[in-house]
């Protein structure tokens, strides 16, 4: 099969992890007889430096034509002095919005060989396997007005959702739950926010369309606590944009590192932007220390969702599992008796593992 992939490396460790994902995609193409073509475009701080804007028209146009998009990360101290509308992060928010990528799927599952890498107790982490379905193009991130007022003595951000925006993400979450253990937790702050009360109403209406899914509501503060005290309680969580952002970084603790969490930002027709959950990590950028597995697993999600190549996705995930079983890891993961390697060496190991044809069953097949 032929597929055209747009790479958006961005800033900080973005280029390092994107290169790793590309490497693994090239190995996939070779192994399965596909033709993947790649095109690199600017986004974020790199785009500001090269083209004066965080989201150039060319980038958007290329993404609209792509079969899949892989993004590294955007942002960093170099651009922090810029006004809000010119910041690198605006490029990422812009592309999500412009492409209508309203659903961000963030699977969190501990690899068995990393159970001790989490600072949480093994008995808490063991068996955790959850999916955060984060609404991605609404809420506080996009509401207007957002401004300073009255000579800088007041500030306003706006949380808006339309009924249709909530309905489509709730549908997505119910459908994800149907593919998994059929337990959905809708997370909100309905004791305070009107938007959350409408969210709850919609979940209550929608549940009749999915009678095989058990659904409940949970307040976000309680959910934050339960995520790290009793993570195996959860299957699918669905929540609005900002709550989803925060809860997913928190949940990464279950896996041992933020560098392990992949994500898919998708829309109904199958186009997707595949992005690790982590940021540009300026503290380790340029040192080949970044964990490339979140980006590699994001590429596996692209194979599964946008390209419908589930065998290929299984192969990548199984190779990641095998490399971790062999005790290879980057510096962010604390693995007793492990073999610490650079990010590029770890990516090569995954690639070699795939080429060795040694990989068997994918017991990590959690990325739905």
Ligand X SMILES: NC(=O)c1ccc[n+]([C@@H]2O[C@H](COP(=O)([O-])OP(=O)(O)OC[C@H]3O[C@@H](n4cnc5c(N)ncnc54)[C@H](O)[C@@H]3O)[C@@H](O)[C@H]2O)c1
Ligand Y SMILES: CC(C)[C@H](C(=O)O)[C@@H](O)C(=O)O
What are the start-end ranges of the H helices in the chain?
14-32, 44-51, 57-65, 88-98, 122-125, 163-179, 194-206, 220-229, 241-251, 293-305, 310-325, 343-355
Q: Decide which of Mg ion, ligand Y, ligand X, none touches 282; Cβ closer than 5 to 8 Å per partner kind.
A: ligand X
Query: Which CB, 278 or 304, lies closer to ligand X?
Result: 278
46: its two tokens: 């790199």
Which residues 79-108 are close enough to bind ligand Y by CB under 6 A? Answer: 89, 92-93
Shortest Cβ 252–ligand Y spacing (Å): 10
Query: Which CB, 46 or 184, lies closer to ligand X?
Result: 46
Q: Is the peptide bond before 235 cis (omega within 30 degrees of 0)?
A: no
- For the question of residue 349 being annotated catalytic, the response is no
Q: Which of 11, 235, 245, 315 binds Mg ion (CB under 5 A)?
A: 245
> Strands 143-149, 154-158: parallel, antiparallel or unpaired by DSSP?
antiparallel
Q: Is 250 in the site for ligand Y (CB under 6 A)?
A: no
- For the question of residue 141 being annotated catalytic, the response is yes
Q: Decide which of Mg ion, ligand Y, ligand X, none touches 188; Cβ closer than 5 to 8 Å per partner kind.
A: none
Closest CA to 281 of 340, 332, 349: 332
Which residues 158-177 are close enough to bind ligand Y by CB under 6 A? Answer: none
DSSP 8-state code for residue 279: -
- For the question of residue 189 being annotated catalytic, the response is yes
**Which is the catalytic residue, given 19, 97, 189, 334?**
189
Query: Which CB, 259 or 338, lies closer to ligand Y?
Result: 259
Rounded Cα–Cα distance for residues 306 and 291 (Å):
24
Closest CA to 96 of 63, 65, 72: 63
> Strands 339-340, 328-329: parallel, antiparallel or unpaired by DSSP?
parallel
Task: Collect all residues with Cβ–Cβ distance below 8 Å to 237 and sequence separation of at least 6.
Answer: 130, 131, 132, 133, 184, 185, 186, 187, 223, 247
Query: Which CB, 109 or 278, lies closer to ligand X?
Result: 278
**Which is the catalytic residue, given 49, 58, 209, 221?**
221
Q: Decide which of ligand Y, Mg ion, ligand X, none touches 284; Cβ closer than 5 to 8 Å per partner kind.
A: ligand X
Q: Applying CB under 6 A, which residues contact ligand Y? A: 75, 89, 92-93, 245, 277, 279
Residue positions in the annotated binding site for Mg(2+)? 221, 245, 249
Catalytic positions: 141, 189, 221, 245, 249
Q: Applying CB under 6 A, which residues contact ligand X? A: 13, 17, 73-76, 89, 92, 258-259, 275, 278-284, 290-291, 294, 332
């Amino acid at each position: 099969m032929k597929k055209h992939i747009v790479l958006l490396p961005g800033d900080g460790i973005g280029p390092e992890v994107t290169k790793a994902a590309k490497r693994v995609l090239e190995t996939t193409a070779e192994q399965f007889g596909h033709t993947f073509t790649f095109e690199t475009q600017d986004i974020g701080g790199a785009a500001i430096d090269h083209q004066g804007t965080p989201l150039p028209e060319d980038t958007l146009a290329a993404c609209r034509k792509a079969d899949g998009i892989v993004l590294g990360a955007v942002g960093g101290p170099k651009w922090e002095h810029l006004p809000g509308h010119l910041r690198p992060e605006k490029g990422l928010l812009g592309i999500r919005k412009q492409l209508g990528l309203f659903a961000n799927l963030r699977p969190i599952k501990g690899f068995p060989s990393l159970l001790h890498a989490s600072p949480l107790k093994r008995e808490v982490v063991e068996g955790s396997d959850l999916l955060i379905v984060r609404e991605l193009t609404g809420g506080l991130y996009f509401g207007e007005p957002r401004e300073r007022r009255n000579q800088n003595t007041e500030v306003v951000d706006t949380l808006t959702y339309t009924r249709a925006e909530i309905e489509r993400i709730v549908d997505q979450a119910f459908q994800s739950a149907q593919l998994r253990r059929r337990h959905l937790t809708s997370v909100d702050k309905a004791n305070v926010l009107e938007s959350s009360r409408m969210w709850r109403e919609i979940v209550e209406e929608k549940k009749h369309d999915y009678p095989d899914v058990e659904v409940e509501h949970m307040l976000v503060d309680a959910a934050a606590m339960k995520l790290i005290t009793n993570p195996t309680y959860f299957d699918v969580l669905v929540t609005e944009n900002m709550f989803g952002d925060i809860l997913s970084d928190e949940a990464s603790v279950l896996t041992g590192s933020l560098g392990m969490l992949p994500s898919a930002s998708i829309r109904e027709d199958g186009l997707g932007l595949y992005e690790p959950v982590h940021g540009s990590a300026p503290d380790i950028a340029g040192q080949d220390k970044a964990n490339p597995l979140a980006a590699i697993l994001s590429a596996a999600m692209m194979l599964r969702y946008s390209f419908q190549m589930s065998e290929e996705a299984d192969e990548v995930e199984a190779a990641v599992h095998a490399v971790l079983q062999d005790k290879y890891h980057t510096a962010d993961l604390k693995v007793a008796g492990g073999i610490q390697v650079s990010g590029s060496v770890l990516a090569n190991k995954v690639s070699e593992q795939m080429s060795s044809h040694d990989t068997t069953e994918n017991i990590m097949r959690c990325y739905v």
